[in-house]
Amino acid sequence: MTTSPGTDPHPPTAELATTGADRLAADLAAGRTTSVHLTRALLDRIAAVDDAGPELRAVLAVSADALAQAAELDAERASGRTRGPLHGIPVLVKDNIEAVGLPGTAGSLALAGRPVRRDAPLVASMRAAGLVVLGSTNLSEWANMRSPHSTSGWSGVGGLTGNPWALDRSAGGSSSGSGAAVAAGLAPFAVGTETDGSITCPSSLNGVVGLKPTVGLVSTEGVVPLAASQDAPGPIARSVRDAALLLDAMTGSTRYAAAPGSRSPGGLRLGVADGWKSGHEGTDALFAEVLGRLEAAGSTLLPVTVEPAGAAGQQELVVLLCELKDGLDRYLAGRPGDGVRSLADVVAFDEEHADLELAHFGHEFLVAAAESGGLADPEYASARAACLAWAVEQMLEPAFAGDPGPDVLVAPAYAPAWKSDLAAGDHFLGGGVASTAPSLAGWPVLALPMGLVRGLPVGLVLVGRPHSEALLLAAGHAVEQVIGVAGALVPSWTPPGRG
């Protein structure tokens, strides 16, 4: 299949690529469309992209009852009942989140064919809010905790997710499919999960908005675990307003949708974390331009001192391995159905099916986690304490200090997407350092697009204090208005190229 840059290869539903959930909600409320029509159009678009098109592989599975869900919600609306502002709008969920009718494999063939028998609470909350659970998205297998040589966006179940801006570029990880699907117009929004960068990275690389909430704000029950102290499900959308609407649906709240529009750029106090620059010339130049525009719009820029992770990175690895051992052993032992019951079983499964699971890279992290002592490991407690001390006491609290201090911290997210390479693994072009301290601390991070560098999206991140999601969304919306690209970035679908 050949396409020219700037051309959507699927014109019958091309308008879905830039239509936000808020506008879809207005169309549904006014009777200009129905949930069935919208759901069918998105299912057609998914099929076109993956069956007749470029094989984006962002969507791992679709719900067999998606149209039935939509029909039920249309009937409710016709009878005068709606469940909330997102009544009848489809959503995709990352395939490490349990949703009845979807695989819930975390991308691993070890969990394929083991049906999900319950909805994770966050999925149940979205259904209660009237969303159509359209399908599940591909991901970096086991949330990218497999190998130091892994390729983001690849899983044994779903293959390699492409980036709709350039099909040979990475969609990021580990919420690869969620970011790519929203950018490609396969759903107005999706749910991802983050342990360290797994929402912010694919959001930045695909040109969409992503929020990693405070750890604990969104339930992780029914989510295949990586590290309990850092795991956080969150929304990926085309605008901050849409992300706020989905966060309300995920949590059963009504407070977050009111935040966007409650603050203007004038009066915002932004802590500029120079130590978290991406190191990529074009990305950092665009970030500097955005800062200039924010200052011209009345925002106050406050320089703050921060550092990359450094030695904390090795301590974080100890925490991740030990918590993966403990969490995955408990999860697999309690998941209904036949198959793997422990992390050791997963390692054995991979080795028995090495032609499929180990075809491109190993599973060194899984082996190391299985051999660890879990939470009882002698290194775990000190490593976790060191991570918290560095992230909170040495980095975040000092950065927010002052009277008054910053409302939020701001930094570039990631450099443009690198070329995917199943033989050599990921080769980041820069960035990602801004997510480490808030990930270790469990603090919230919001990523939003700031434009294109050499034809590829790049984003910035805003970091907030714990449980400051409303302020973060308000500030993010104000920044988004100054940048002016939200919802306007349409993927180019550039075919693979040499070089």
Cα–Cα distances (Å) from 186 to 43, 91, 209, 373, 384, in that order, read 8, 9, 15, 42, 39
11-269+411-483 folds as Amidase signature (AS) enzymes (3.90.1300)
Q: Is residue 31 a contact partner of residue 25, using CB atoms and an 8 Å limit?
A: no
Strand-strand pairing, 90-94 and 132-137: parallel
pLDDT recorded at residue 52:
65
Active-site annotation holder among 174, 176, 204, 278: 174
Locate CATH 3.90.1300.10 in the chain: 11-269+411-483
Backbone angles phi, psi at 242, to 5 degrees: -65, -40
Neighbours of 378 (CB within 10 A): 8
Looking at residue 17, what is its pLDDT?
Answer: 62
Model's pTM, two decimal places? 0.96
Active site (annotated) includes residue 174: yes
pLDDT at site 9: 36
Strands (E), 148-188: 154-155, 159-160
189, amino acid identity:
F
Q: Phi, psi (5° rounding) for residue 484?
A: 80, 20
The active-site residue out of 35, 94, 150, 170 is 94
Exactly one of 155, 175, 198, 299 is catalytic; which is it? 198
CA atoms within 13 A on the CB side of 325: 19
pLDDT of residue 2: 30
Q: Please compute, for residue 195, the number of CA atoms within 13 A of its CA located in the half-sphere on the CB side.
A: 22
pLDDT for res 57: 97
- What is the per-residue pLDDT for 311? 64
Catalytic residue list contains 35: no
**Residues in the chain where the model's pLDDT stays below 70:** 1-17, 52, 311, 499
Is 198 catalytic? The answer is yes
